[in-house]
């Protein structure tokens, strides 16, 4: 029936989406990008904002949106509010968001994620993560076994020192 509100995803799907969102945040932070902390006041936020939409419809899933600095955002909003469509803040805001969406997409694709444009009028310049790198795939930045052992530590016989 038209106009029905979609239901939320089940607990298992929610857990999977939250896991993917966490992995996305980690990967972007590993690349050196600022990542917006979940729950941070929007007026303070800048960087990659990762959102989990829990609606069980085509608009649900894991989304990424680049938040420009609060100052640039305010300038762009004020330009729109005052109908200054030729204001450089508007074009620069759009250029930054487009560039960062491309960069974020390339970074995540390199790390094994599947990423598409959000294709959503409410998520301009947004990205949708359609799949994570897969079960058991270690991130490139993960601690390696050789980082956990000291040279000679495993081969030394401690009973000889008694």
Please check whether residue 3 lies inside any domain of the structure: no
pLDDT single digits (tens) 83-125: 999 999 999 999 999 999 999 999 999 999 999 999 888 888 9
Q: Check: CB of residue 34 under 8 Å from CB of residue 45.
A: no
Q: What is the mean pLDDT of residues 112-140?
A: 88
Phi, psi of 75 (to 5 degrees): -60, -40
Please check whether residue 138 lies inside any domain of the structure: yes
Predicted TM-score (pTM) of the model is: 0.82
Please check whether residue 4 lies inside any domain of the structure: no
- Number of structural domains in the chain: 1
* Domain membership of residue 36 as a residue range: 11-68+96-150
DSSP per residue, 76-134: HHHHHHTT-TT-HHHHHHHHHHHHHHHHHHHHHHHTT-EEEE---TTSTT-EEEEE-S-
Paired residues of 52 in beta bridges? 62
Please check whether residue 105 lies inside any domain of the structure: yes
Please check whether residue 2 lies inside any domain of the structure: no
pLDDT single digits (tens) 141-150: 888 888 887 7
Residues, the chain: 162
Please check whether residue 113 lies inside any domain of the structure: yes
Please check whether residue 130 lies inside any domain of the structure: yes
Predicted local confidence at residue 152, as pLDDT = 67
Please check whether residue 162 lies inside any domain of the structure: no
The pLDDT confidence band at residue 41, using thresholds 50, 70 and 90, is very high
């Amino acid at each position: 029936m038209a106009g029905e509100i979609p239901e939320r995803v089940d607990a298992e799907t929610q857990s999977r989406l939250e896991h993917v969102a966490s992995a996305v945040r980690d990967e972007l932070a590993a690349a050196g990008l600022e990542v917006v902390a979940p729950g941070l006041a929007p007026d303070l936020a800048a960087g990659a904002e990762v959102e989990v939409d829990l609606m069980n419809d085509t608009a649900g899933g894991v989304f990424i949106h680049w938040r420009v600095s609060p100052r640039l955002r305010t300038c762009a909003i004020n330009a729109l509010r005052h109908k200054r469509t030729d204001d450089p803040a508007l074009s620069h805001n759009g250029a930054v968001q487009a560039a960062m969406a491309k960069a974020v997409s390339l970074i995540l694709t390199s790390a094994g994620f599947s990423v598409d444009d959000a294709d959503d009028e409410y998520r301009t310049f947004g990205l949708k993560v359609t799949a994570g790198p897969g079960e058991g795939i270690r991130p490139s930045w993960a601690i390696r076994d050789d980082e956990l052992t000291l040279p000679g530590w495993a081969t030394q016989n401690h009973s000889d020192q008694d």
